[in-house]
Chain A
Amino acid sequence: MSLWVDKYRPTTLQKLDYHKDQAVHLKKLVQCGDFPHLLVYGPSGAGKKTRIMCLLRELYGAGVEKLRIEHQTFTTPSKKKIEISTIASNYHIEVNPSEAGIQDRVIIQELLKTVAQTNQLDTSTQKDFKVIVLTEVDHLTKDAQHALRRTMEKYMATCRVILCCNSTSKVIPAIRSRCLGIRVAAPSVDEICQILQLTCRKEGLTIPREFAKKIATKSDRNLRRALLMCEACKVQQYPFSEDQAVAQADWEVYLRETANMIGQEQSRKRLVEVRARLYELLTHCIPPEVIMRVLLQELVANCDGQLKSEVTQIAAYYEHRLQMGQKAIYHLEAFVAKFMSIYKRFLEEGLEDLF
């Protein structure tokens, strides 16, 4: 039994639920049997991967759905072995090069070259090219991105590259100018509602409109999360009632509590407690930038005008430091400490004004 997210994933461009205009565009794009390199970007859970798979299906027919997982080993110049798993069909290969960390350049060079340098034996009945899908391109190192640029031009005849990322900011301009950018915006709350209702109908369930809306708002316009939440709620309690609580991820609740703790008391003791909680979150693999973002949103709610912008500035400052640095905990902690000091000063000033 598979999750609803996978079970009801649309497989053709016609079946897509939203961004229909774009689907028509994409269809036209592949109709002539050829397309440029693509750069698909958008927030997570917006349906980037779904669109890519639909596109490939449109291009190659049902054959692309026969997937197999392969493990490949590459050797770096320093004789270090890197293992990476790829998902491939006869027509395409999907890799997440960032799995290899800073050695991703080797992957790009080796893999692309082997795929791109092989011509199809029988080009009369098949496409001339294979497709390489690279995911999480924004996590690629600059080195690897530079390795991509000329390869993309050189082997245009035998392969196409589809890049998939969350934001184009981290993709170097040289690559951006070689690709056709396709923006996949997150679905709106209404669209998510409709999809939830549709999915429930297919499952033979009924979902009240209000409840669907509640889930949709909670999901931050992330369709995948919405569907997962919906399924979780179904396990919790069915039939759905309108005032049923939407199950939230434990870490979110935990993070909110942490933010509240910071707001309540600003002392050395509290800082140590917060530190323990932050460590707890990090060990559960919650990305530090997400922690920072949620903390900011929660903390700012207790501040007024001037202070809000000040806190935002320091959050941005420490988050940047966090990306540059090595250990996330230092920077998260620094942010918390800084916030405490600003907030305390603000409260004391407020008190002085009273007297």
Chain B
Amino acid sequence: MQAFLKGGTSSFASKPSKETASSSGRSQTKKKPTPWVEKYRPRSVNDVAHQDEVVAVLKKSLHGGDLPNLLFYGPPGTGKTSTILAIARDLFGDMFRERILELNASDERGINVIRAKVKNFSQLTASGTRPDGRACPPFRIVILDEGGLHDFSCPDACGHACILQAALRRTMEKGSKTTRFCLICNYVTRIIEPITSRCAKFRFKPIIAAVLKERLEAICKAEGVLCDEKALSEIIKISEGDMRKAITLLQSLARLRGSEEIVLSDIVDISGVVPEDVIDNLIRVCHSDSYDKLDSTVQELMAEGHSAVQLLLQLHDKLVEEDKLGDNQKSVIFEKIAVVDKCLMDGADEYLQMMALCTVIMQQICHADK
């Protein structure tokens, strides 16, 4: 380990000429490489996209200089972390780094660690003035983000997760003088009742296409990226209201194309979406009522490395709109899709699950009575 950490410099010293030669072109334009997701995180609550109701409420409480304990929930990439960071920035100005404590899964956990950390953090008094003399609220914010909350949530093994959550509630009350908690999670149902009742709950909704488009265009302009109109709407379609996904995708595409314009065909390559004709072909094979053909097609699909979950998603979209299938047939197929999805999540073999699904689809298309 030590050698790995230090090694970079020693090897460099032994052959400096080669290194400088290869990196000379880059060194002039050296900037800290920041992902655009971080670079374009909203700096102030006003910049938070699309969550108007949440922002309105929060602004009111900002006005009063006080915050309740917060619980943010909503799908990924809708701005939960961004919002709390923006609030902290608005409240504390430059000193916001000292006033927040982020607890997440990358730190060591266990309730004792959390308790100790929160205790130490909340015991420090927070002054009511900023260094520059302006007033600021006299409390600190503890952010327990999704990853951190994972340990507090009750997935399937509700044993020790609930204990952790239960322990948290007392901690929350005890620290209420100097600390506010902000919990961030995807599903509010994973959090036990006593905790939700101690927090002001805010739901973050998926970001609509128009807002996404506006943001992406702004970023394109700021970064000098050329992006085709069609490509942009494809990015938006793929990201399904997830701002982070959209921006990450845009950045990858921009890196890939360099100064050229981003076009539609690049996106399919990079976004992990299964090409449309592959799906069509699969459905066509299901129509043929031949198990052997199906077998070879699914094997082919797996060899191509397509993700089964993505396949399910697109297959589902496709079959919903299929006119030839009756309601009964569709419901049988979709039930199977749900089962297969669960199995895949549990780590079942992709080939077997896809075969099981496809045989059901084939059965329904070719043999079911409507």
Report A's interface with B, CB cutoff 8 A: 22, 25, 28-29, 31-36, 41-43, 46, 61, 63, 66, 68, 70, 72, 77, 88-91, 93, 109, 112-115, 118, 120-130, 138, 142-143, 146-151, 153-154, 156-157, 167-170, 173-174, 176-186, 220-221, 289, 292-293, 296-297, 300, 305, 308-309, 312-313, 315-317, 319-320, 323-324
Q: Which of the residues A35, A61, A68, A168 comes within 8 Å of B255, measured between beta carbons?
A: A35
* A181, B270: Cβ atoms closer than 8 Å: yes
Interface residues of B in 220-276 (CB under 8 A from A): 242, 244-245, 248, 251-252, 255-258, 269-272
Measured in the bound complex, the distance between the Cα atoms of B252 and A218 in whole Å is 37
Task: Name the A residues within 8 Å of B308 (CB-CB).
Answer: 167, 169
Q: Enumerate the 4 nearest inter-chain pairs by beta-carbon distance, A residue then B residue, closest first.
A: A316-B356, A309-B359, A42-B305, A90-B7
In the complex formed, the residue of A with least CB distance to B108 is A109
Partner of A180, one of B270, B348, B349, B356: B270
Assess whether A114 is in contact with B1, with CB atoms less than 8 Å apart: yes
Across the interface, which residues of B come within 8 angstroms of A323, CB to CB? Answer: 346-349
Whether B309 pairs with A313 at a CB distance below 8 angstroms is no
Complex CA gap A26/B200 in Å reads 46
Tell whether, in the assembled complex, residue A126 and residue B350 are in contact, meaning their CB atoms are under 8 Å apart.
Answer: no
Do A153 and B38 touch (CB < 8 A)?
yes
Task: Write out the residue numbers on chain B whose beta carbons fall within 8 Å of the beta carbon of A169.
Answer: 307-309, 344-345, 350
Inside 8 A of A147's CB, which chain B residues have their CB?
Answer: 105-106, 147
Does B304 make an interface contact (CB < 8 A)? yes
9 contacting pairs across A/B (C-beta < 8 A) = A70-B4, A88-B3, A167-B307, A168-B310, A177-B242, A178-B244, A179-B248, A181-B272, A220-B303
A151–B76 touching, CB < 8 Å: no
In the complex, B355 has a CB within 8 A of chain A: yes
CA of A309 to CA of B23 in the docked complex: distance in angstroms?
58
Q: Do the beta carbons of A174 and B76 come within 8 Å of each other?
A: yes
Give the docked Cα–Cα distance between A77 and B22 (Å): 44
Q: Is B214 an interface residue (CB 8 A)?
A: no
For chain B, residues 34 to 88, give those with C-beta under 8 angstroms from any C-beta of chain A: 34-35, 37-38, 76-77
A contact residues around B151 at 8 Å (CB): 143
Task: Name, among B8, B107, B150, the residue most crowded by chain A CB atoms within 10 Å (CB to CB).
Answer: B8
The answer to the question of B331 belonging to the interface, with a C-beta cut-off of 8 Å to chain A, is: no
User: For the side of the interface on B, what is the size category?
Assistant: 35 or more
In the complex, what distance in Å separates the CA atom of A124 from the CA atom of B106? 29
**Do A33 and B19 touch (CB < 8 A)?**
no
Query: Once the chains bind, are A170 and B256 in contact (CB under 8 Å)?
Result: no
Rounded to whole angstroms, the CA-CA distance of A125 and B308 in the bound complex is 43
B295 at the interface (CB under 8 A from A): yes
Chain B 15-33 per-residue mask, 1 if CB under 8 angstroms from chain A, else 0: 0101110110011001011
Contact flag A184-B4 (CB < 8 Å), given A292-B352, A316-B343, A316-B353? no
Contact of B349 among A142, A146, A289 (CB under 8 A): A289
* Closest A residue, CB atoms, query B103: A150
With A114-B5, A124-B27 known to touch, is A297 a contact of B305 (CB < 8 Å)? no
Return chain B residues, CB-CB under 8 Å to A170. Answer: 344-345, 347
List the B side residues contacting A28 at CB < 8 Å: 255-258
Q: Does B360 contact A (CB under 8 A)?
A: yes
Does B154 sit at the interface, judged by CB under 8 A?
Answer: no
Please, how many angstroms separate the alpha-carbon atoms of A329 and B302 in the complex?
A: 26
**Residue-by-residue, is B110-142 near A (CB-CB < 8 Å gives 1, otherwise 0)?**
100000000000000000000000000000000
- Chain B residues with Cβ below 8 Å from A113 are 106
List B contacts of A305 (CB < 8 A).
Answer: 289, 291
Q: In the assembly, what is the distance between CA of A35 and CA of B33, in Å?
A: 9
On whether the beta carbons of B9 and A150 are closer than 8 Å, the reply is no
Closest residue on chain A to residue B356 by CB atoms? A316
Q: Is the CB of A118 within 8 A of B5?
A: yes
Decide: B27 and A309 in contact? CB cutoff 8 A.
no
Knowing A34-B33, A125-B20, A177-B242, say if A150 contacts B145 (CB, 8 Å): yes
Q: Is B362 an interface residue (CB 8 A)?
A: yes
Q: A66-B11, A124-B30, A147-B147 are in contact. List 20 more A-B contacts (CB 8 A).
A: A28-B255, A29-B256, A32-B258, A43-B302, A43-B305, A70-B1, A70-B3, A77-B108, A90-B8, A109-B106, A126-B23, A142-B150, A156-B34, A157-B32, A167-B350, A177-B77, A289-B352, A309-B360, A313-B356, A323-B349
What chain A residues lie within 8 Å of B347 (beta carbons)?
Answer: 138, 170, 323
Residue among A34, A112, A118, A148 with the highest chain B CB neighbour number at 10 A: A34
Q: Is the CB of A156 within 8 A of B38?
A: yes
Q: B187 at interface (Cβ–Cβ under 8 A)?
A: no
CB-defined contacts of A29 to chain B, threshold 8 Å: 252, 255-256
Known A70-B4, A297-B295, A309-B362: A168·B352 in contact at CB below 8 Å: no
- Which chain B residues lie closer than 8 Å to A31 at the CB level? 258
Measured CB to CB, the nearest residue on chain B to A301 is: B292
The interface residues of chain B lying within 8 Å CB-to-CB of A309 are 291, 359-360, 362-363
Question: Does B18 contact A61, Cβ atoms closer than 8 Å?
Answer: yes
Q: How far is the CA of A56 from the CA of B278 in the complex (A)?
A: 32
Does chain A have a CB within 8 A of B97?
A: no
Q: Report chain A residues within 8 Å CB of B258.
A: 28, 31-32
Whether B8 lies near A126 (C-beta < 8 A) is yes
Return the contact of A63 from the options B11, B26, B270 (Cβ within 8 A). B11
Let me know if B314 is at the binding interface, CB within 8 A. Answer: no
CB distance B147 to A149 under 8 Å? Answer: yes
Interface residues of B in 337-370 (CB under 8 A from A): 340, 343-353, 355-356, 359-360, 362-363
- Shortest Cβ distance from B347 into A: residue: A323
- In the assembled complex, the Cα of A142 lies from the Cα of B346 at a distance in Å of 10
Interfacial chain B residues near A70, Cβ < 8 Å: 1, 3-4
Q: How many Å lie between the Cα of A145 and that of B231 in the bound state?
A: 31
CA distance in complex: A63, B108 (Å):
34
* CB–CB A319/B348 < 8 A: yes
Report Cα–Cα, A221/B351, bound state, in Å: 15
Known: A28-B256, A70-B4, A118-B5. A168 touches B302 (CB 8 A): no
Q: How far is the CA of A110 from the CA of B250 in the complex (A)?
A: 32
A91-B10 Cα distance, complex, nearest whole Å: 11
Residue B176 is within 8 A (CB to CB) of chain A in the complex: no
Q: Which residues of A contact B295 (CB under 8 A)?
A: 297, 300
Name the residue on B nearest A152 (C-beta): B106
Counting CB contacts under 8 A, is B306 at the interface? yes
List the B side residues contacting A320 at CB < 8 Å.
Answer: 343, 346, 348, 353
CB distance from A317 to the nearest CB of B (A): 8
CB closest chain-B residue, reference A310: B359
